[in-house]
Chain A
Amino acid sequence: MNTKEAQFLLSSIRPDSEDAEDPRFAEAIELAKSDPELGAWLENQQAVDRVLSSKLQEIPVPEDLEASILAGIRVSQNPPFWKSRSLLLIAATLIAILLPLGLLVMNGSAPSGTTPSDFRAAMIEKIESGFEFDHVSADSEEIRDWLVSQSRSEGIEIPDDIAPLKTAGCKLLDWEGKKASLICFHLKPDDPGPTVHLVTVDAELFAKRNLAEANIEQGPEWVSALWRKGGKTYFLATIHSAAALQEWIE
């Protein structure tokens, strides 16, 4: 190792740190100990490093920055706006519907004869309940790949108008023992929260019912569509208009 090579390595050593113990620098450090000129260079280098570091630490930071950061975090952690708006109304409605079914669907114990309306109501309640995503991504393709890695929703067919939208994330679900997923989309990139939600169940549900064409239902807050295709059952819900939903699924 020559002096230039040693200087190249020694430039990366932080003064007063454990870097001196790093084997990568051992040879260069030994050379600096035996070569007075190199040793003096290193000593000067590190002295200047200490001074420059302290000078740069004097860059002023805006006084209100910390408070702004903490306020922003609190806002981002607040429950979704749709939950607070609809909570009372949905609670009253769903108590009447869901009480005989038990709680939210997670472990497939719903009684036989569950109707599409029951399913819709259960999915809406899940969407509004506020939950943590199992996987966060702004890209629906990436979410698709992740779901496949979780052995879910393989071959999912997201409506063409929905697929390019920015996603918020996805949640793994179960419906009556069948694997399902929930993907949440932002209709506009700067919307505060996702407003379009796609549930995919890896089975064709409601076999005795004709769901060949997506049937759209308008509720008090939500409009939703339910259809079967390719061995799966799809449920698409949004707070936007029935006309918009109709366009997306055509």
Chain B
Amino acid sequence: MKLSDEDIQMLVSEHYGNLYRFALSLAHNQAEAADLTQQTYLTLATKGGQLRDIGKAKSWLFTVLYREFLKLRKLTNRFSEMDEETPETTSSSIDEDACRKADAKIVIESLYTIPEIFRAPVSLFYLEDLSYREISEVLEIPIGTVMSRLSRGKEELRSRVTSHLTDSSSPSNVVRLPEASGE
């Protein structure tokens, strides 16, 4: 199906924000995240004809962005494969009230510190409310692998948020959220 200008504008407007946030969770870098988001939409403009159902556009966009990220990682050699057996996650018993007290910046920075192999599925789960099946399609990994990474990744995120809340001073391994540069 050929996408009309209105379709494309609608898809930009509806999804660019969360695509950018997903890209940022992967890349840790605002410029790279913006570039990945832009590249994703350029692919839509040139290859959007491959979309048979505009209802699948959201998954399609996230899939394209993730592939672009992986291509970039291959080029820059910064992507490190994680052994599925590591790391060991510690159980945390954070509750809703404690979580509400966490500053959004702390939660975001905690996301950046969880192992990269968990970050993509956890980001898609929280940012874009994708189901485990949709996450499996976007990341092109088996459903069982998605569930495993969600289970461990969410636990890892909660553990990091909990340690921020229980430790009043900033831990030395916190990755500061990039400041908005207005570029």
Physical interaction between A and B: yes
A binding-site residues for B, Cβ under 8 Å: 7-9, 11-12, 14, 17, 19, 44, 47-53, 55-62, 65-66, 68-70, 72-73, 76-77, 132, 136
Asked if A51 and B96 sit within 8 Å, CB to CB, the answer is yes
**CB pairs A–B below 8 angstroms (9 shown):** A11-B154, A48-B95, A49-B125, A51-B100, A56-B108, A62-B34, A69-B12, A69-B16, A73-B44
- Tell me, yes or no, whether B127 is within 8 Å of chain A by CB: yes
**Known contacts A68-B34, A69-B41; is-contact A11 B150 (Cβ 8 Å):** yes
Number of A-B contacts (CB under 8 A): 114
- Cross-chain contact B147 with A8 (CB below 8 angstroms): yes
Residues of B within 8 A of A44 (CB): 95-96
Binding site for A on B (CB under 8 A): 8-9, 12-13, 16-18, 20-21, 24, 30, 34, 37-38, 41-42, 44-47, 49, 94-96, 99-100, 102, 104, 107-108, 111, 123, 125-127, 129, 131-132, 146-148, 150-151, 154-155, 157-158, 161, 180, 183
Who on chain A is nearest to B46 by CB? A76
For the residues of B in contact with A, the DSSP-based class is helix
Q: Is the CB of A48 within 8 A of B129?
A: no
Q: Is the CB of B104 within 8 A of A55?
A: yes
A70-B9 CB under 8 A given contacts A61-B21, A65-B16, A77-B45: yes
Task: Find chain B residues with CB under 8 A from A132 CB.
Answer: 49
Closest chain B CB from A109 CB (angstroms)? 28
Query: Could you tell me if B107 and A66 are in contact, using CB atoms closer than 8 angstroms?
Result: no
Q: How far is the CA of A23 from the CA of B26 in the complex (A)?
A: 32
A72: B residues at CB distance < 8 A: 38, 41-42
Q: Which of A69, A77, A132 has the most CB of B within 10 A?
A: A69
**Chain A: CB-nearest residue to B146:** A12
In the A-B complex, list the 6 residue pairs whose CB atoms are closest, starting with the nearest: A47-B96, A11-B151, A55-B107, A58-B104, A12-B132, A51-B99
Which residues on A sit within 8 Å (CB–CB) of B157? 52
Known: A17-B131, A62-B34. A73 touches B126 (CB 8 A): no
CB nearest to B133 among chain A residues: A22
B103 CB to closest chain A CB (Å) equals 8
A residues in contact with B129, CB < 8 Å: 14, 17, 53
CB neighbours (8 Å) of B47 from chain A are 136
Instruction: Find the A residue at minimum CB distance from B177.
Output: A59
Contact between chains at A48 and B146 (CB < 8 Å):
no
